[in-house]
Structure 1
């Protein structure tokens, strides 16, 4: 272990990563650099500086990455209408490649030999952090304390703090949530506690970003979202930066009981896991994006995107953001978004996101053809007969051979 002289640690300032700082110094006899990212988790990140200094850390990085996160990671993902296993909007997954990138960049800037993270050996995050790190710096050394130490309980962690004079008294005095939570501008997740029983309903007091649909206002809220090349650029006609768009939608969505999700998902490491998520802004974005695509995308392009999306979602969930196949899919997705421009009007009501209008100068919807009234010869209905018979030809042949019998 003597070959490790300096380590860059993804540092939250909480109990686990504070222990990791001391453990790295003791176990590897190395210098520790801390990196704390503000991804819109809703808590101040600056206090991490004082905590790191109290642990003897000399090089401390604290960065506001909210705009980068939404512009370069969340928005590109939503251009694909991405959901994992039909439900999960990938709030945790999409944050990891950005953190991995900054860990590697800081390691290069500081001359560090290794990076470290606080992800456990049972979860997906260890995979996401490390696949990203190896893709960006193939020879990097990765240290994952949870796979090395025996401090596998909160009690053991607290005892370690007492033995090594680690200043985390705030953790003792602070009421600990029974849930393991992760938050950023896209979502907040909950695992553990009563959620480990898939039959147990989540407690109402667990939810932090949204009211229940039952408690949402009785009056619907209307909003207009303006899209350019597949991204939301304005709300109700007011131009906004990407991270401001998502912040606004989180607030208004949460007020209307939108974005709660309770699922059992299949982790990449092999186990099933029950988790609850609040993604109010993302839920609104997904519905609106599909609505604007419904009038601006060609049928076959839209259908092909839907076929590619599950693979794209799986790549992000499993940690392959930096892979050549994800980049290839992203290029195809982004190419499809050139005409995805216009405005979508939504009605938000008691947990529901209802599309009530959509318009675009790039719309492929032609009322003169789609009308049930006289179309002035725009569409000859007699042509449908030959179309149907040609498409039925293989079915008729198979039926004559008895191939279609039950």
Structure 2
């Protein structure tokens, strides 16, 4: 009888390699799926490892451009920041990867997809809600939620012992005492020695951003162009007559990651609220994302009506929650995304940014169309504004305050 086919989200690490062997022992055929979203990974070596363990096949798909164009840059456009600090690097990658997983499952006629996300984390929710949105008839095998798996493998030592028994290659390099998730937008660090929020992170933990003491001694000044809220080009003075102009989204992100990293831009150390109700501590470095977000916020304030900006702020906070919690493909997220995109119709122009020693500072902004009226706001000319009108404006707004003062006096 033919075996059921499982598409496994595979990283090449200890956990998913052991899950691969465990699924095979449970009498499944397994095809491993690896998405290249910009992580530092030896995909050839991981492929060979999976085939050696017993995978029927290994799919490696380059999703870097897809991730940047359809997830990262739209997040900049929408202004998505979870709890005012986290730029959602991991959260945005999960629906992107799930699309690839589900497409592979449909193409190969698989019955299941599987992943190595833990039972306490956010990723299990993000993967599975995305999968069920895209593939309602599909099924998910989540080993870390199955008693027969988590009771057998209660920690890394149990996995290592199993790997030795099954001749699964285990890295000779000691594992860092924390977990890492990496893509082209960011790197996150959590768990292990970082679980104590009062503990200072170990020296040298960050991979792509320099400590401020080792940051570049000279500032970088760049111009970022936006069309409908999306960054479309970056101009970087090269020291020669002609500046370096980047228009390819992948090149923009790669270059700003390098530039921001050299200046120590984009590091945060936060305690956040997981969807399951737990608080967790996370360290993140997001150089390109930080630079683009700061520039976009400035241009948006320049271009948008005041009340539209405030409504948009409410919607972007809701959308950030949707993304963090795994609802990228939900009807509420689709609706909110369309509203946010509509708000960006007039967010067009250029922002000049100063990058230095961990800071991203705005120097100037320009736009062919803006609500900024230089004559109207000038202190040197009237510009069509009647100062005497301010008296009535103040009186009307003071009326409520005067009445409250009267009420407060009576209540004492």
Which TM bucket (shorter chain)?
Answer: over 0.9
> Residue 79 of structure 1 aligns to a residue in which SS?
helix
Please list the CA deviations of residues 323-345 of structure 1 after superposition, one character each: whole Å capped at 9, or x if unmatched. 11111110001011111111100
- Structure 2 residue 204 is the aligned partner of structure 1 residue 225: no
Please list the CA deviations of residues 363-396 of structure 1 after superposition, one character each: whole Å capped at 9, or x if unmatched. 2211111111123x42111111112222333333
Normalised to the residue count of structure 1, the TM-score between the two structures is 0.95
**Equivalent residue in structure 2 for 1:151, among 144, 153, 171:** 153
2:77 equivalent in structure 1: 79
d(CA) in 2 for partners of 1:99 and 1:255? 29
Please list the CA deviations of residues 153-183 of structure 1 after superposition, one character each: whole Å capped at 9, or x if unmatched. 11111111122222x14x1x12321110000
d(CA) in 2 for partners of 1:103 and 1:113? 12
> Residue 89 of structure 2 aligns to a residue in which SS?
coil
- Structure 2 residue 407 is the aligned partner of structure 1 residue 401: yes
**Equivalent residue in structure 2 for 1:249, among 251, 256, 262:** 256
How much is the aligned-residue C-alpha RMSD, in angstroms?
A: 1.8
> Residue 399 of structure 2 aligns to a residue in which SS?
helix
- Structure 2 residue 211 is the aligned partner of structure 1 residue 212: yes
> Residue 344 of structure 2 aligns to a residue in which SS?
helix
CA contact (8 A) 2:12 2:46 kept: yes
d(CA) in 2 for partners of 1:302 and 1:243? 29
d(CA) in 2 for partners of 1:3 and 1:390? 79
Normalised to the residue count of structure 2, the TM-score between the two structures is 0.93
1:193 equivalent in structure 2: 192
CA contact (8 A) 1:210 1:253 kept: yes
CA contact (8 A) 2:78 2:340 kept: yes
Mark the CA change 1:404 to 1:368 in structure 2 (over 3 Å): closer, same or farther. farther
Which range moved further: 42-51 or 200-209?
A: 42-51
1:319 equivalent in structure 2: 326
1:302 equivalent in structure 2: 309
Task: Please state how far the C-alpha of 1:127 moved relative to its aligned partner.
Answer: 0.6
> Residue 60 of structure 1 aligns to a residue in which SS?
strand
CA contact (8 A) 1:10 1:35 kept: yes
Q: Unaligned regions of 5+ residues in structure 2, if any?
A: 236-243
CA contact (8 A) 2:264 2:357 kept: yes
CA contact (8 A) 1:398 1:404 kept: no
CA contact (8 A) 1:4 1:113 kept: no
d(CA) in 1 for partners of 2:33 and 2:20? 11
Mark the CA change 1:288 to 1:4 in structure 2 (over 3 Å): closer, same or farther. farther
Task: Please state how far the C-alpha of 1:57 moved relative to its aligned partner.
Answer: 2.1
Q: Unaligned regions of 5+ residues in structure 1, if any?
A: none
Structure 1 segments, 4+ long, off by >4 Å, are 403-406
2:280 equivalent in structure 1: 273
Which range moved further: 314-323 or 209-218?
A: 209-218
- Structure 2 residue 263 is the aligned partner of structure 1 residue 261: no
CA contact (8 A) 2:20 2:53 kept: yes
1:66 equivalent in structure 2: 64
